[in-house]
């Protein structure tokens, strides 16, 4: 009997690192809707086998039609093309996508259309966009890895957006006691702080050390590609963020070859420390949400490559520490211009970083980190161009000269 032979790539040896990494890392974009990829073993099929395969394919098609009917009765999307945009009940004053996503909080969201951004929240591939009335709507994309649970997707999305915090009330309170904030708030309404997954946020900010946004994004894209593939939107591939177990399989050398430089060692060492945590690194990171800010920063600073600034970023953007204020040279300039002008001209030191953080908390209270975020966004070149000169530039108060002892 005639047979047909198909040659494909070699099979990884069971138990090898290659086999383990294939289990953890992303599915190929060519996977079908069941997540089944192209066979990786040499196949020899005779005509009888082909006939049986044809029968199996017919059964699969019938099953697919049945699944389609089930999805229809459950009011779930059958394919990505028919998913509708669903209002999120967040107006522009509560969420402005351009003032939230491309502002340095996360590097995993892409602009995929006019006033539209796409990213991943846990295992869900999500697009957000502003409707004509300014409100925000969401779109859950179908993925090859699982069926869509619309209720779960919306729940995790609202959690990610910190939607239970009323931004307009906060801005009103800040504006009542701060002239600078009152000037900026109408121009920057909807600049919201996100609530990311701690591991995802931590790894992103390890990449941010002495780096620019373009290069940070490339590094984060590389790390993301190690996770489970979820889909492609407007030419961008999206992946679930890789687990700690998957990240642990990448060597320092591999990270260096991917362009991470000295940050490769920070990431590898941090992953090792997290893996050794009782109960697991993910559990430990989530447990920090229940601690005081000082304990959170202290705990994070035990990780390789994490200093006070990175720790404050992770605390603010993922660990519910809403009064955490990340201080770098940009925030220092903002603070000496509007909050502590008497320190202008001094050299930023760890002690002055603490003073700046305290100044923000004294002025804005338990949501000082949110206020700092808006003031930071206001200084971005893309936003300064949209704000009138009399608002974007405020004269500094007369500088008070401090002694070296007072500054240090």
Active site residues: 309
342 burial type by CB count under 10 A (0-12 exposed, 13-18 middle, 19+ buried): middle
233 with 125: CB under 8 angstroms? yes
Helices vs. strands in the chain: H and E counts, helices first: 19, 9
Q: How far is CA 293 from CA 162, 204, 222, 323, in A?
A: 18, 20, 31, 8
405 with 349: CB under 8 angstroms? no
Q: Can you read off the two tokens belonging to residue 315? A: 């605390």
Q: How far is CA 26 from CA 19, 35, 121, 173, 224, in A?
A: 13, 11, 16, 46, 9
372 with 315: CB under 8 angstroms? no
**What one-character-per-residue DSSP string does 251-299 give?**
-HHHHHHTT-TTHHHHHHHHHHHHHTSTT-HHHHHHHGGGS-HHHHHHH
Residues contacting 198, CB < 8 A, separation 6+: 282, 285, 286, 288, 289, 314, 318, 319
Residues contacting 190, CB < 8 A, separation 6+: 92, 93, 94, 95, 96, 99, 100, 167
267 with 282: CB under 8 angstroms? no
135 with 92: CB under 8 angstroms? yes
Residue burial 172-208, b: 16+ Cβ < 10 Å; e: rest = eebbeebebbebbbebbbbbbbbbbbbbbbbbbbbbb
Residue indicated by tokens 């009323």: 166
């Amino acid at each position: 009997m005639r047979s047909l032979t198909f040659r494909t790539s070699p099979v990884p040896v069971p138990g090898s690192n290659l086999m383990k990494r294939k289990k953890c890392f992303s599915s190929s974009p060519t996977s079908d809707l069941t997540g089944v990829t192209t066979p990786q073993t040499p196949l020899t099929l005779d005509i009888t086998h082909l006939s049986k395969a044809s029968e199996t394919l017919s059964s699969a098609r019938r099953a697919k039609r049945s699944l389609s009917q089930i999805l229809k009765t459950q009011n779930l999307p059958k394919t990505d093309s028919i998913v509708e945009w669903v209002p999120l009940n967040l107006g522009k004053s509560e969420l402005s996508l351009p003032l939230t996503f491309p502002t340095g909080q996360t590097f995993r969201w892409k602009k995929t259309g006019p006033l539209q951004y796409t990213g991943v929240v846990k295992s869900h591939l999500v697009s957000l966009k502003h409707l004509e009335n300014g409100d925000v709507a969401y779109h859950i994309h179908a993925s090859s890895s699982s069926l869509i649970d619309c209720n779960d997707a919306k729940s995790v999305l609202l959690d990610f957006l910190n939607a239970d915090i009323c931004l307009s009330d906060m801005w009103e309170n800040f504006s009542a006691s701060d002239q600078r904030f009152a000037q900026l708030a109408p121009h920057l309404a909807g600049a919201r702080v996100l609530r990311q997954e701690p591991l995802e946020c931590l790894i992103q900010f390890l990449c941010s050390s002495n780096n620019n946004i373009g290069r940070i994004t490339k590094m984060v894209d590389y790390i993301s590609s190690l996770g489970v593939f979820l889909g492609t939107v407007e030419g961008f591939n999206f992946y679930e963020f890789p687990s700690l177990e998957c990240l642990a399989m990448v060597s320092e050398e591999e990270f260096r070859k991917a362009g991470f430089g000295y940050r490769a060692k920070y990431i590898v060492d941090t992953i090792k420390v997290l893996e050794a945590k009782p109960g697991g690194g993910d559990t430990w990171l989530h447990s920090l949400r229940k601690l005081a800010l000082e304990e959170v920063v202290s705990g994070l600073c035990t990780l390789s490559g994490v200093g006070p600034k990175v720790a404050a970023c992770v605390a603010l953007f993922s660990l519910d520490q809403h009064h955490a204020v990340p201080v770098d040279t940009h925030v220092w300039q903002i603070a000496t211009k509007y909050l502590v002008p008497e320190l202008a001209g001094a050299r930023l030191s760890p002690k002055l970083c603490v003073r700046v953080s305290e100044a923000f908390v004294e002025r804005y209270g338990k949501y000082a980190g949110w206020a700092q975020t808006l003031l930071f966004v206001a200084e971005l070149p893309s936003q300064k161009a949209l704000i009138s000169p009399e608002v974007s530039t405020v004269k500094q108060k007369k500088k008070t000269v401090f002694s070296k002892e007072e500054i240090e």
